[in-house]
Structure 1
Amino acid sequence: MRLAFGLGAVWLASLTIAATVIPSQNNDTDYKIGPTPLDTPWTDTVGTNPWPEYPRPRLQRSNWKNLNGVWRYRNGTEGDIKSPPFGQRLEKPVLVPFCLESALSGVTGKRHIYSWYQTSFDIPLDWLVTDRVLLNFGAVDYEATVFVNGHNATFHRGGYFEFSVDVTPYLNASGSNELIVHVFDPTDQDRTQIPVGKQTLNRGGMIWYTPCSGIWQTVWLESAPVEHVTKLDLVAEMDGKGTLIVTIYEPDTPDVKATATGISGAPFVFTVKNPELWHPDTPRLYNITVKLGSDTIQSYTGFRTVSRGVINGIQRPLLNNKFIFPFGPLDQGFWPDGIYTPPSVEAMVFDLKVLKRVGINTVRKHIKVEPALFYKACDELGLLVIQDMPSLRPDLPDPGNQCYIIRLEGPEQQKEFDRQLAMLVEQLKSYTSIFAWTIYNEEWGQDTKGLPEFRLTDLVKSLDPTRLVNAVSGWADHGAGDFDDNHHYSTPQCGTPFWSATSGLAAYDSGRIALQGEFGGVGQYAPGHTWYPDLSKQTSYELTNDTIAWNYRTHKLLSELREQTELYACSGGVWTQTTDVEGEVNGLMTYDRRVIRMDEAQWKADVFALYETAAKRAAHASQNVGMGDQSLEGLQIGML
């Protein structure tokens, strides 16, 4: 398998790194969890030093300092960025890294359009002798302006993406340093159209949820040499100078598997003999050390190839040149206590472990980007990830006729969507578990006349030729990408000779892979475990009276998908969904994660029946299996 790396570091399973948590500095004396209609088993265990783990498992250093904890907060106003509150103590406590609207933030409330954050930190003296100090943010929704000791250090736009800034020039050599962050997050205010996924300020209904504003992923400092690693990528264009030393270790041991030395600014290839391949059943990962001068980072990777090919006359997705049937849930990643931010890594991984218990091998990460540790967990547990691009707001009023709606406001909104789509691919493409990229969901923000999905498919393939691309999930499909993706509730229509003409869907395109991109959506009321106490506000595509009926109905729908796999061209399915979310009650679990609706023995049998049926369809001689004879041993390295 050919992998290309820019300089960076990733979590090493055997590495122990002690983080320094920033002192509370009396910020937390008035913090308390805000009101919420529903909590989780982890809500009361969060404390005031949340998410202490090293947050960026693709690029990890030993000298770092976690800045999560209780900061100070002030609700802002339009234009107030011209007068930052330097030297002031802001009025309210806020727990970073939780969305302002969430109970765990301690702020809660609505319409946090403009916001101020404030904290302070000290720097170990040895960091400032020869090294640079980097300030890192996992994600801030939506625009962040960062001030350090009164200096404007950086600006970042894009609510789902990590960013860093070298703050060395602004630091005090001794004593405390003031960090202030101004955030602007319009979500879907007025005619705003930015990538928001399912966040909304105003609209109710089943599939729209509480927005997430502000800092919602980990903030941390780290020390790095002047010449240091900045990025670790798969097949990326690269610049820079220096000598790169790479060491790969045997899984779960300190034994060296292979070493190589190269020059930065140009990829190079070396061979790892007889690697154990990564697969959902055997998610083998190799630890990596990368050195550039005095900078040492830790990383990991899995050896595997994703491609597509024809097997017995049918287009199929391939993993390591063999047909794999990706099946799993629509995974939205919302939490009643943290909204976009899980209360802890333990809570986040709980969801994934429940899925693995019943044999699920895939999650469709639905129009949201998760913290980096989510993808690390998928790498380790063995879950393929179909990663969606967070969608634009889908239904702006038509200025020419208020009775109609338009999908795209204009060229500036398209340009920004394109830019952030590229950021998504660049940020996540090194994770082994990423299986496919989804550009558009159900026509949301899609220019159906200009057909940008063809151009954007080419863009994604140019940035990452090692994955499949689902150009359009649901409908408004004009033939771009690797998948013919059909959404149909509650029953599946996957690669079949029948379809729903009234919904605007087209017949199955046999030139692409048939994927049931969404189906199921069977709901069940769970009194005491719902976001709204009034059950009349809880709904789904189809409802059952109890979990016995729910399991009967889900068994029937999974059996239909299995039959369509046996009889037709179905090559994968996405079930709606992992958990209930606010007004939706169609999860495999309730929103608070306290009730698992699945009869796990039945679900496991149904899931494996899907895989067994798919294996039988591919059991005979195959032809044109995509990338075919490519080596799984070449490791292509480069750096920034």
Structure 2
Amino acid sequence: MMNRLISSFLLIFGLIFSVCSQEWKPAKVAVMTTWGEKIDPAHVLEEYPRPQMQRNDWINLNGIWEFTRGTYGDTYNEKRVFDKSILVPFPVESALSGVMEVDAKNDDKNYWYRRTFTVPKNYKGKELLLHLGAVDWLCEVYVNGKSVGTHEGGYDAFSFNITPYLQKTAQQELVIKVFDSQWAGGQPHGKQSLNPNGIWYTPVTGIWQTVWLEPVAKTHLSDFLIVPDIDNEQMKITLMPNALSDDMSAVIRVLADKKEVTKMKVSSFGEELQIPVKNPRLWSPESPFLYDVEIELQKDGKTVDIVKSYAGMRKIALERKDGKPCIYLNNKPLFQYGVLDQGWWPDGLYTAPSDEALEYDVKMVKEMGFNMIRKHVKVEPARWYYHCDKLGMLVWQDIPNATTNTQRNDWVETNFVREAHNIMNCLKNTPSIITWVAFNEGWGQYDRKDIEDKREAYTRMAVKKVQEKSNGRLVNAASGWFDYEIGDMIDKHHYPLPAVYDNPVNQRAVVCGEYGGINLKIDNHIWAGSEVNYTTVNSAEDLKRLFIEYAGKVEELKKQEGLCAAVYTQITDVESEINGLITYV
């Protein structure tokens, strides 16, 4: 506790930060959330960023950084002039970044971020890890002028051990270079567009999740996997330390309501361990019970690392009911009534202005009576999934789509699988995620006619790779169309009324991955741009009436066609789409 207080003291009094004097103010935007209006640049997203792997000590590097635009191919230059400031972790194009630069020529520039920090004295003798929640897309990290490493991928968390690059001087310099080619590069980008309009939105470049420092022992836990097994009343846990030695062991504790239910000492690492959980309390939308999990790493019998996590005991499976495939949760059929969530914010774009804002959306979905969210071609910060876990919200997680309409398709295929695996690895322990969605409406699936001959082979390969990392979850191979009778679902998109495909093979669950999209204009809540129009109403009462009518059709499909899940478009308006159940602000 004292270490945490020391870190907080340094943080508050500016000994950690060196750029607080930089001028910053949000850029003007058509609409801004109430959370964005209240943002304090000295206190940005201060909650612990990794809820499923917590340690006591950490330093939040969010806040005002120095910033400038460079030219593609730039290298580090200690004399570089940083002529702007930016509020991290809001993307360059967002109003809350203070920059709001949207430039279609994304292939000819780098962005450079800079700040300094001080290492607290009580960190002496420890390794210092630099964590970045997500950076879109290619970034290189420099500490005190030395390149620490690079990372490619806009949706997965990564870290570097920066200990060898620290100097004895009080202040340490941190510089981050970012390059993002958007669609031209062929990397996963979701619904970002250099020409935002209709269903395509403002692009995102740069740091868009929390940047933070964490002290660890030389020997520490790097990662772990928890797979619930309710049928055998156990958790299957795999521990992955940063290094192995004969004198290492670990103690795993499982707690329910702060009372220990299991304690086991183990000496096997990188192998699956069966940790008993007798008479487990199951996780479900109605009762989202979470067990606390504590892992204590020991070396020569002495504790060197303690990590706190949590787990939900739940099982998702495809079974048969009345002769048809049916999705079961915890060995019981469960109809999933979901809503599409694209995760865009008018002021922060990919980045919510606060943790309260993240939680608010999940709470609203729950209060409206839905039990599932389809997170649409975007990945959220770990805390969003934490709120889903705590509140009992099932999640279908889309893999953000790439672009196969390029000259680099061999690289695009390989990179899509690599980034998909990285995303899945970051989210592997999340109880609320029950389905991975590999492709959506053919995007990144060779949807152009002159290359469609490659589609089936690529789809089968990519879906197989997703299934290999599914960790017991279902896989929706192709939400919308271009279906090849693979995966666990046959998924139709149909607007405005829900509908389903015929299912003659009868081996996969019938779902409707998108329907609805009822437009309702609300004055002073409109984003500029052309509207997407499936159907339009003129009042909230008309929207309610039509929504209920569509819900009746969902019930009809459940009874007649064995429909297992339906996803309404969508929870909020998004830029020029005004078909949300909630306005954009």
TM-score of the superposed pair, with normalisation by structure 2:
0.90
What letter is aligned with 1:285? L
Find the counterpart in structure 1 of residue 559 from structure 2: 566
What is the distance in 1 between the residues matched to 2:5 and 2:330?
Answer: 32
Find the counterpart in structure 2 of residue 583 from structure 1: 576
How many Å apart are 1:541 and its aligned residue? 1.3
1:462-501 equivalences under 5 Å are 462-494=468-500
8 A Cα contact 2:224 2:239, kept in partner:
no
Find the counterpart in structure 2 of residue 42 from structure 1: 35
| Structure with higher strand content | 2
SS of the residue corresponding to residue 177 of structure 1 reads strand
* Distance verdict in 2 for CA 1:508–1:557, change over 3 Å: farther
What letter is aligned with 2:549? K
What is the distance in 2 between the residues matched to 1:26 and 1:218?
Answer: 17
Find the counterpart in structure 1 of residue 531 from structure 2: 538
* Distance verdict in 2 for CA 1:412–1:353, change over 3 Å: same
How many Å apart are 1:134 and its aligned residue? 0.4
Long gaps (5+) in structure 2: 228-237, 299-303, 447-451
What is the distance in 2 between the residues matched to 1:37 and 1:374?
Answer: 25
What letter is aligned with 1:257? V
| Equivalent residue for 1:120, pick from 116, 127, 130 | 116
What is the distance in 2 between the residues matched to 1:123 and 1:508?
Answer: 63
8 A Cα contact 1:280 1:384, kept in partner:
yes
Find the counterpart in structure 2 of residue 276 from structure 1: 281
1:340-489 equivalences under 5 Å are 340-393=350-403, 396=405, 409-447=408-446, 448-450=452-454, 451=456, 452-489=458-495
Find the counterpart in structure 1 of residue 509 from structure 2: 513
Find the counterpart in structure 1 of residue 519 from structure 2: 523
| Equivalent residue for 1:158, pick from 131, 153, 164 | 153
What is the distance in 2 between the residues matched to 1:393 and 1:523?
Answer: 29
Find the counterpart in structure 2 of residue 259 from structure 1: 263
| Equivalent residue for 2:250, pick from 240, 244, 264 | 244
The count of aligned residue pairs is 546
Find the counterpart in structure 2 of residue 632 from structure 1: none
* Distance verdict in 2 for CA 1:238–1:464, change over 3 Å: farther
8 A Cα contact 1:453 1:480, kept in partner:
no
What is the distance in 1 between the residues matched to 2:83 and 2:440?
Answer: 41
8 A Cα contact 1:72 1:89, kept in partner:
no
How many Å apart are 1:508 and its aligned residue? 6.1
How many Å apart are 1:337 and its aligned residue? 0.3
| Equivalent residue for 2:69, pick from 75, 93, 113 | 75
Find the counterpart in structure 2 of residue 337 from structure 1: 347
How many Å apart are 1:249 and its aligned residue? 1.1
Moved more, 320-329 or 482-491: 320-329
What is the distance in 2 between the residues matched to 1:273 and 1:267?
Answer: 18
8 A Cα contact 1:69 1:95, kept in partner:
yes
SS of the residue corresponding to residue 297 of structure 1 reads strand
Find the counterpart in structure 2 of residue 623 from structure 1: none
8 A Cα contact 1:73 1:90, kept in partner:
yes
Long gaps (5+) in structure 1: 1-14, 398-407, 498-506, 593-640
What is the distance in 2 between the residues matched to 1:368 and 1:158?
Answer: 12
What is the distance in 1 between the residues matched to 2:160 and 2:79?
Answer: 22
How many Å apart are 1:26 and its aligned residue? 4.2
What is the distance in 1 between the residues matched to 2:505 and 2:376?
Answer: 24
8 A Cα contact 2:436 2:470, kept in partner:
no
8 A Cα contact 1:206 1:540, kept in partner:
no
What is the distance in 1 between the residues matched to 2:83 and 2:577?
Answer: 36
Find the counterpart in structure 1 of residue 233 from structure 2: none
8 A Cα contact 1:508 1:514, kept in partner:
no
Superposed CA offset, 1:290-333 (max 9, x none): 11121111100011111111111010111111111111111100
Find the counterpart in structure 2 of residue 219 from structure 1: 211
SS of the residue corresponding to residue 424 of structure 2 reads helix
| Equivalent residue for 2:308, pick from 283, 298, 310 | 298
What is the distance in 2 between the residues matched to 1:144 and 1:258?
Answer: 42
SS of the residue corresponding to residue 379 of structure 2 reads coil
8 A Cα contact 2:439 2:479, kept in partner:
yes
How many Å apart are 1:392 and its aligned residue? 1.3
What letter is aligned with 2:465? L
What is the distance in 1 between the residues matched to 2:506 and 2:5?
Answer: 50
How many Å apart are 1:159 and its aligned residue? 0.5
What is the distance in 2 between the residues matched to 1:462 and 1:159?
Answer: 22
* Distance verdict in 2 for CA 1:431–1:57, change over 3 Å: same
What letter is aligned with 2:577? E
How many Å apart are 1:43 and its aligned residue? 1.0
How many Å apart are 1:28 and its aligned residue? 4.2
What letter is aligned with 1:541? Y
What is the distance in 2 between the residues matched to 1:581 and 1:28?
Answer: 34
What is the distance in 1 between the residues matched to 2:362 and 2:428?
Answer: 20
What is the distance in 1 between the residues matched to 2:465 and 2:483?
Answer: 18
What is the distance in 1 between the residues matched to 2:11 and 2:506?
Answer: 55
What is the distance in 2 between the residues matched to 1:36 and 1:378?
Answer: 29
Moved over 3 A (4+): 15-22, 26-29, 234-240, 447-450
1:170 aligns with 2:165: yes
Moved more, 20-29 or 205-214: 20-29
What letter is aligned with 2:254? I
SS of the residue corresponding to residue 318 of structure 2 reads strand
8 A Cα contact 1:99 1:338, kept in partner:
yes
8 A Cα contact 2:19 2:66, kept in partner:
no
What letter is aligned with 1:119? R
Find the counterpart in structure 1 of residue 234 from structure 2: none
SS of the residue corresponding to residue 51 of structure 1 reads coil
* Distance verdict in 2 for CA 1:473–1:409, change over 3 Å: farther
What is the distance in 1 between the residues matched to 2:19 and 2:493?
Answer: 51
What is the distance in 2 between the residues matched to 1:335 and 1:591?
Answer: 7
What is the distance in 2 between the residues matched to 1:509 and 1:440?
Answer: 21
How many Å apart are 1:46 and its aligned residue? 1.5
Find the counterpart in structure 1 of residue 290 from structure 2: 285
SS of the residue corresponding to residue 351 of structure 1 reads helix
Superposed CA offset, 1:593-629 (max 9, x none): xxxxxxxxxxxxxxxxxxxxxxxxxxxxxxxxxxxxx
SS of the residue corresponding to residue 233 of structure 1 reads strand
Find the counterpart in structure 2 of residue 557 from structure 1: 550
TM-score of the superposed pair, with normalisation by structure 1:
0.82
How many Å apart are 1:338 and its aligned residue? 0.1
SS of the residue corresponding to residue 65 of structure 2 reads strand
What is the distance in 1 between the residues matched to 2:444 and 2:546?
Answer: 34
1:326 aligns with 2:318: no
How many Å apart are 1:89 and its aligned residue? 5.4
What is the distance in 2 between the residues matched to 1:348 and 1:68?
Answer: 17
Superposed CA offset, 1:238-275 (max 9, x none): 57532121111113x3x211111212232211211112
* Distance verdict in 2 for CA 1:76–1:87, change over 3 Å: closer
| Equivalent residue for 1:180, pick from 175, 178, 193 | 175
Find the counterpart in structure 1 of residue 139 from structure 2: 144
Superposed CA offset, 1:546-595 (max 9, x none): 11111111111111011111222111001101100011000010111xxx
* Distance verdict in 2 for CA 1:107–1:148, change over 3 Å: same
